[in-house]
Amino acid sequence: MAPRTARASTPALELCGLSKTFTLGAGLFKRGRTLGAVSDVSLRIPRGQVMGLVGESGCGKSTLAKMLLGLTTPSDGDVLVDGKPLRGANQKALARHIQPIFQDPYSSLNPRKRIAQIVGLPLQVHGIGTSRERAARVAETLDVVGLPRRAADQFPGQLSGGQRQRVAIARALIMRPDIVICDEPTSALDVSVQAQILNLLLDLKAEFGLTYLFISHDLAVVEHLVDRVAVMYLGRIVEEGTREQIFGSPRHPYTRALLDSALTPEPGLGVPDIGLGDAMPDPSDPPSGCAFHPRCPKAQALCRQTRPRLEDIQGDNARVACHFA
């Protein structure tokens, strides 16, 4: 793994043609079908920036996150952290660079452990510091995420949803990572608490120079804190650009549909109906050509035949995969 003093121009996190294929229904005498959960994803996240990753349920966001966290092995492609490949890196080195914050603080915290044990566990697992040093770092980190000192002795069940997500954030920060993968970190929270957690994430980013990949189906949440946005459909990135480009002048019909659905007034109700009629196609049997064509209001014959490449939009520092964008 890279030293923490990598050059400022090197992206903190780079995904190069990352793919994950699952085999379904294989047996002794049966070959099984393949499902491309993530296909040929390439992204660069500069140090200190927030990349939003958006798309409907089942488009591959969590599978992508698991590959970045070393929880799933890519079928193809590479992940570079500070310019160095993650492949072959040991878990200890990885944990010092990349940490996750997951959606559900209710199920991701062990209900039988005290908060101090939960937050300090990564230090213990990786043999960092004496027990006194670990306790001091836990106390300091609880402060940083805005939890009272007394929370250290409490159990998750004694805390509110927002406080539990602060615990999950403290557990991620205790290793002082450079990159945090936030997988729907506010989806399980009340709307009023969501804003507090998002503001906390922004403050922590500034304080520790963190780089975030922020995964969400909720575009309103993403708009609040990202620098760039990548839009994913059926395992592929279909559009990527700055926050202003994606929210101000989206080019891909799917991005437009997602933005339209974000305007429907039912925040916090889970994945929106994006108003495109047919549900997302079966990823183990994707449509020919552009995978979005059966739902696309602008589809033409070419879209059924040829898959558009994700190409640079001239002079715009953005990319789109659509024949007619």
Ligand X SMILES: Nc1ncnc2c1ncn2[C@@H]1O[C@H](COP(=O)(O)OP(=O)(O)OP(=O)(O)O)[C@@H](O)[C@H]1O
Q: Which residues bind ligand X (CB under 6 A)?
A: 22, 24, 35, 37, 55, 57-63, 283
The count of C-alpha atoms lying within 13 angstroms of the C-alpha of 241, restricted to the half-sphere facing its C-beta, is 25
- Output the smallest distance, CB 113 to ligand X, in A: 26
- Output the smallest distance, CB 55 to ligand X, in A: 6
**Cβ proximity to ligand X, 37 vs 138, nearer residue:** 37
The residue at minimum Cβ distance from ligand X is 62
- Output the smallest distance, CB 115 to ligand X, in A: 27
Q: Residue 51 has which token pair?
A: 């990349």
- Output the smallest distance, CB 24 to ligand X, in A: 6
Question: Which DSSP helix (H) or strand (E) runs through 53?
Answer: strand 50-54
**Cβ proximity to ligand X, 204 vs 280, nearer residue:** 280
**Cβ proximity to ligand X, 55 vs 241, nearer residue:** 55
Name 230's bridge partners: 53, 240
Residues with Cβ within 8 Å of 268's Cβ and at least 6 positions away in sequence, in order, are 187, 190, 191, 194
Query: CA-based angle 288:293:296, to the nearest 5?
Result: 175
Q: Estimate the crossing angle of helix 161-173 against helix 191-208, to 10 degrees.
A: 20
Q: Which residues of 90-112 are buried (b: 16+ CB within 10 A; e: fewer)?
A: eeebbbbbbbbbbbbbeebbeee
User: Could you give the CA distance from residue 99 to residue 78 in angstroms, rounded to a whole number?
Assistant: 18
- Output the smallest distance, CB 59 to ligand X, in A: 4
Contact 50, 198 (CB under 8 A): no
Radius of gyration of the chain (CA): 20
**Cβ proximity to ligand X, 60 vs 308, nearer residue:** 60
- Output the smallest distance, CB 192 to ligand X, in A: 23
Residues with Cβ within 8 Å of 162's Cβ and at least 6 positions away in sequence, in order, are 189, 190, 193, 196, 197
Instruction: Name the one residue in this structure whose structure tokens are 């640079």.
Output: 312
Question: Which DSSP helix (H) or strand (E) runs through 164?
Answer: helix 161-173
- Output the smallest distance, CB 63 to ligand X, in A: 3
**Cβ proximity to ligand X, 22 vs 208, nearer residue:** 22
User: Could you give the CA distance from residue 47 to residue 33 in angstroms, rounded to a whole number?
Assistant: 39
**Cβ proximity to ligand X, 129 vs 294, nearer residue:** 294
**Cβ proximity to ligand X, 17 vs 25, nearer residue:** 25
**Cβ proximity to ligand X, 37 vs 118, nearer residue:** 37
- Output the smallest distance, CB 79 to ligand X, in A: 16
